[in-house]
Structure 1
């Protein structure tokens, strides 16, 4: 039987365990260790857990050790990205299986760099102390002619996820030299579909995560206003009424949010779509009681949240369960900065 309350203490214990030692099922995600660390550390921060649970000095040292650095200033424009590696193993050069030779040096990943900068911001590290020049100068190499971004310097997909990462990085570092905002804006606008939502690429199906990346990116870049519904939505660069209608239609009969039509409700979309509604000023239209009830059916007795009711909890859905409850103003949780996906206090830098 699902608990009728948000089990904060169990969630803190769940994250504390993950901070100390990740269970063996996470071995396959070792390459994304920085992302997993972001879920843990930001989760503990949102839950207002005691500072003693996280060794901030050790965390900062570990995160900073994962940044890629050019060997010389001239390398900043060699097409590679000098951000952060996703994990320690990602720092090792790749090997050519045909002759055993080491290939070119491995380089940073845009999504991992977002998580690294976010972690440093959450623990209160002075971001002016990091090598932001290498990050921002080389990040421009990842932006494509259509305004989209690749996560690494070659051979990867381009879509809205990586525009969001680039935007969030620039915003957190307080420096927009790492991207062309106008090109990014044009790409985002082209991703709005006929139904009001946004697809990951122009012409693709509307999706809750892609819609979050679009709206929060435009907000962080200053192209749309907060609470746009209370202002002149008709003058917006996106179709706000259609977007609002699409978002509200994603709340299903069970109270949860689905990422696409005809899909089951999923814990994480309470954050992805709930955040979009928060930015637009439409959060008041959510059936909060129903959403609260759905999320509790995904709350694990071990702490954490699962994707669907009855499944085992995982870090990804646990974190977005916490952010969803923060949006619902659950007592004991810090207020959320939806644009950056962290506590509002961390986002401000207090």
Structure 2
């Protein structure tokens, strides 16, 4: 079998022209692809970049106006909402997200800081307010009673922010302010005998805080679709792929508001992330996919902010989230969508990579500290291999996309694929799913789909049936699976330490290796080139 990379690249480029860039005349009518449009853009762009190892920038492949249009599509999908203060306090989120005032204070520092300065934002667990570091004075001591921000005089020093947490000081200041207000009112009453105390009453009223959150919806029809964590992750990944991650492209203020959106969706009692604001307010149950997308979004936000020398420290949710994920571990070794449901390869992928993102203070995942869980998990993943393909659940047929979910999970567990599975058979299985005429990959092998219409009843006029046609989803994950298989083989071949190898090296035909070597190394968690994730 051969891999025709150029043909598959044309398939992805054609999809951009036909589905992603072309403007529809009926903008207000719904389309079946709208609910996954942002995800589809990510599959296409990441797939194109994976197949072009020598080109690290999509600007060398796509025209500038196409990239500009894709960037515009992503940013038009950005939704901004103001959350009422009552909701924030009812759900005990006042210490977890930043208020509009807090974000503005951070932005003032960003504008005034020197290029070598570092900003640390520490979100604490105190009941009174959000703590973001300490205020450092010239004598080296910290004063927690003063609600102001001081900047270091020398470049390269760290800037820390903290809002006032001393209630006594706040009350004293309030009493002094009220005395001054009374003096002003008495003076005004002497000047205007008919004046009332209405002005004083307005000043006595507590001003409510504003909380702003931002998220990405599946497409630019924001009146039809609400922002959710899956579209938010794909949108941020697209910005990385098209190299639009500067302050002018997506501001620090927007990133902090997206960070607010993700943290707001965290269920403090159960330990999982919700899908959207509606599912959060309606108390929907948890889903492993949303946990992974939320944690991955936080990872990319922190990556962008760290490049701007802004660091957020917030580990208060980690242990709760780890506990919820481990509650989804079944006795067979796989992970389910939520506690008590069936193990699935897709949710197992999400669980493994979520736990890898939730590392402890020693930078270790609990999957590597508990050998029993890891060994059972590896065995369950290997059991997904059947009939020369890989399935997603017990007693289910194979599907080419599970080649990615299962094999990338094994790579995330630091496994040598050639020691666990016959990788040559897996590569051949994936290649059998490709459309040799038009490009792309279908769900199952192409030769399994050529069934005579007279022998099987179907609703289609032509011989083609739905799972025979290639689609962007399976095409992207098939290419990603081929990349992760080949690069895993090369990694352990270069790292080989065994003096005597019983089975010998894995042999890949020369004509096939010449094609596989053109694939960029893919990150086992984020399904995009590794160099873009660090």
| Structures share fold, TM-score greater than 0.5 | yes
Distance apart, 1:41 and its partner CA: 0.8
Alpha-carbon distance in structure 1 between the residues aligned to 2:239 and 2:18: 20
Match of 2:336 among 185, 199, 219: 199
Match of 1:320 among 454, 458, 477: 477
* Counterpart check, 1:116 vs 2:127: no
Distance apart, 1:135 and its partner CA: 1.0
Unaligned runs of 5+ in 2: 25-29, 92-211, 303-311, 447-467, 487-515
Alpha-carbon distance in structure 1 between the residues aligned to 2:256 and 2:364: 34
Pairing 1:175-186 to 2, within 5 Å after superposition: 175=312, 177=314, 180-186=317-323
Distance apart, 1:110 and its partner CA: 0.9
The structure having more radius of gyration, on CA atoms, is 2
| Structure 1 residue runs of 4 or more that deviate by more than 6 Å after TM superposition | 72-76, 224-228
Structure showing the higher strand proportion among its residues: 2
Alpha-carbon distance in structure 2 between the residues aligned to 1:30 and 1:264: 29
Pairing 1:96-245 to 2, within 5 Å after superposition: 107-126=226-245, 129-130=250-251, 131-144=254-267, 145-155=269-279, 157-174=285-302, 175=312, 177=314, 180-223=317-360, 235-236=369-370, 239-245=373-379
Unaligned runs of 5+ in 1: 94-105
Distance apart, 1:153 and its partner CA: 1.1
Distance apart, 1:21 and its partner CA: 1.2
* Counterpart check, 1:267 vs 2:395: no
Distance apart, 1:75 and its partner CA: 10
- State whether residues 70 and 134 of structure 1, in contact with CA within 8 Å, keep that contact through their aligned partners in structure 2: no
Alpha-carbon distance in structure 2 between the residues aligned to 1:114 and 1:179: 22
Distance 1:113 1:234, change over 3 A: closer
Alpha-carbon distance in structure 1 between the residues aligned to 2:471 and 2:315: 33
* Counterpart check, 1:87 vs 2:219: yes
Distance apart, 1:223 and its partner CA: 4.8
Alpha-carbon distance in structure 2 between the residues aligned to 1:28 and 1:238: 44
Q: Deviations over 1:200-241 (max 9, x none)?
A: 11111110000000001111222599999xxx9773287011
Alpha-carbon distance in structure 1 between the residues aligned to 2:413 and 2:363: 6
The corresponding residue for 2:170 is none
- SS of 1:342's partner is coil
The corresponding residue for 1:308 is 444
Alpha-carbon distance in structure 2 between the residues aligned to 1:14 and 1:217: 32
- State whether residues 407 and 485 of structure 2, in contact with CA within 8 Å, keep that contact through their aligned partners in structure 1: no
Distance apart, 1:71 and its partner CA: 5.4
Alpha-carbon distance in structure 1 between the residues aligned to 2:483 and 2:364: 18
The corresponding residue for 2:61 is 52
Q: Answer with 162-171 or 283-292: which moved more.
A: 283-292
Distance apart, 1:107 and its partner CA: 3.6
The corresponding residue for 1:344 is 530
Aligned residues: 327
Distance apart, 1:331 and its partner CA: 1.7
The corresponding residue for 1:16 is 13
The corresponding residue for 1:97 is none
TM-score, normalised to structure 1, is: 0.85
- SS of 2:80's partner is coil
Alpha-carbon distance in structure 2 between the residues aligned to 1:121 and 1:73: 32
- State whether residues 85 and 113 of structure 1, in contact with CA within 8 Å, keep that contact through their aligned partners in structure 2: yes
